[in-house]
Structure 1
Amino acid sequence: MNGFEIRRENKKKDILNAALQLFSMHGIKNVSIAEIAKKANVSQVSIYNFFQSKENLARLAFFNMMDGIMSDLEALVASDLSFREKVNTMHFISSEAGNNFNEIFNQIEFINDPIIQNFLDEYGKNKTVPLFMNLIKQGKLEGDLHSEISSESLLIYIHAINKALHSNSSKKVQSDLGKLFFYGLFGPSN
């Protein structure tokens, strides 16, 4: 990349970061392009040139956030940690991401956007499922997951727990679901 292209990419990153910060503090609807431009130290015209609209900027900020979370999760799964350590850390990363997601993007019109839905479907197939399949394989090898339960069944179970954890449940319910995930109905073995 030449100097112009580098400056252009840096400006786009500054806009995305400013938008994400402002969206997290005030919600998408309550943030104007002018506020984003001021925070990113760019002109409003630059934002429209790069992103066409606030809605498209919000989508791209969401995609960018998802890519950052996925990078963290991929590095975690590729690490030398045990299965249990990975799952504990993944739970923390997912909880933090879920809180940010709910505050910023959990608006009906945003989450029901066909472009967002398509992105989530593709992301699930191409990124999330392979990541969890690798984690499940490790869990079975280390004896933490029952070897006779199919990986598909485990994936469905993980998805159901994850969905419940990211619902509007109380912190107590979320904590209890985490305990159920790790220890089952009978609790930790002595």
Structure 2
Amino acid sequence: MNGFERRAFQIKGNIIQTTLEMLKTWDSSKIRIADIAKTANVSQVTIYNYFGNKEALLREAVKKYIEDSFNDFLENMNGDYTFKEKIESIILQERESSLSSLTPFFMRLVKEDQEIAQFMEKEYNERILPAFLQLIEEGRKNGKISDKISNEGLFVFINFSMKYTNELYDSIQQTGNMNLMNEMLHIFLYGICGKE
């Protein structure tokens, strides 16, 4: 990559990152190219040259959001963590993500935009699913996952848990007893009766 290409790559990355940051606090329908240009300290023409229009820019920003989320997941799966720490990371990843406030916009765009939906499905099937299946195999081999639980059952339970992590966290914050999150993770991992 020569100097011009490197600079173009940096400018484009800055515009995408600025858009993601703005989407945390702005309604996507109210963001204008002029707002993004001003915040990113570039001209509107630069944004149009790189992306063509606002919809294409939002699409690129969402792809970046997906890639960042998936990269965080894979980093945790490939890291030197215990099985329990990896499962905790999966469940809490949505809550800990610096981009978690984008979730409603992100989910709406995934439903409405065929290109984004296909991109996400491809990335999930090629990158996330194999890593998750490997984690399940590791868990079964080490006696951390019961043979009584199918992969499908485990997927459903983890997805359900992830879906309600924010609500659970908010409820725990209201009690003022943050140790309850550890209790909830313990129940997730071992059930209310503990290990068999």
Aligned pairs for 1:32-51 within 5 A: 32-51=32-51
Following superposition, the deviation at residue 14 of structure 1 comes to 0.6
Aligned to 1:183: 190
- Structure-2 separation of matches of 1:156 and 1:91: 12
- Structure-2 separation of matches of 1:101 and 1:135: 27
The yes-or-no answer on 1:20 pairing with 2:20 is yes
TM-score w.r.t. structure 2 length? 0.79
| Closer, same or farther: CA 132–82 of 1 in aligned 2, 3 Å | same
The yes-or-no answer on 1:88 pairing with 2:88 is yes
Tell me, what secondary structure is at the counterpart of 2:80? coil
Tell me, what secondary structure is at the counterpart of 2:81? coil
- Structure-2 separation of matches of 1:119 and 1:177: 33
Output one character per residue of 1:13-38: Cα deviation in whole Å (capped at 9) or x when no partner: 01001111111111211211011111
Q: Aligned letter for 1:20?
A: L
Greater relative contact order (Cα 8 A, min sep 6): structure 1 or 2?
2
Following superposition, the deviation at residue 179 of structure 1 comes to 5.8
Output one character per residue of 1:131-159: Cα deviation in whole Å (capped at 9) or x when no partner: 21121122112221113534344334333
- Structure-1 separation of matches of 2:7 and 2:193: 55
The yes-or-no answer on 1:144 pairing with 2:144 is yes
- Structure-2 separation of matches of 1:56 and 1:115: 11
| Closer, same or farther: CA 110–150 of 1 in aligned 2, 3 Å | closer
Aligned residues: 186
Aligned to 2:171: 172
More displaced 10-residue stretch of structure 1: 116-125 or 97-106 = 97-106
- Structure-1 separation of matches of 2:66 and 2:29: 20
Identity over the aligned pairs, expressed in percent?
29
Task: Give the root-mean-square deviation of aligned CA atoms.
Answer: 2.8
| Closer, same or farther: CA 117–165 of 1 in aligned 2, 3 Å | farther
Following superposition, the deviation at residue 165 of structure 1 comes to 4.3
Output one character per residue of 1:70-99: Cα deviation in whole Å (capped at 9) or x when no partner: 112111111221100111123222223473
- Structure-2 separation of matches of 1:43 and 1:30: 19
TM-score w.r.t. structure 1 length? 0.82
Q: Aligned letter for 1:115?
A: E
- Structure-2 separation of matches of 1:177 and 1:123: 30
The answer for unaligned runs of 5 or more in structure 2 is: 173-180
Aligned to 2:125: 125
Tell me, what secondary structure is at the counterpart of 1:81? coil
The answer for unaligned runs of 5 or more in structure 1 is: none
| Closer, same or farther: CA 140–3 of 1 in aligned 2, 3 Å | same
Q: Aligned letter for 2:73?
A: L
Q: Aligned letter for 2:10?
A: N
Aligned to 2:29: 29
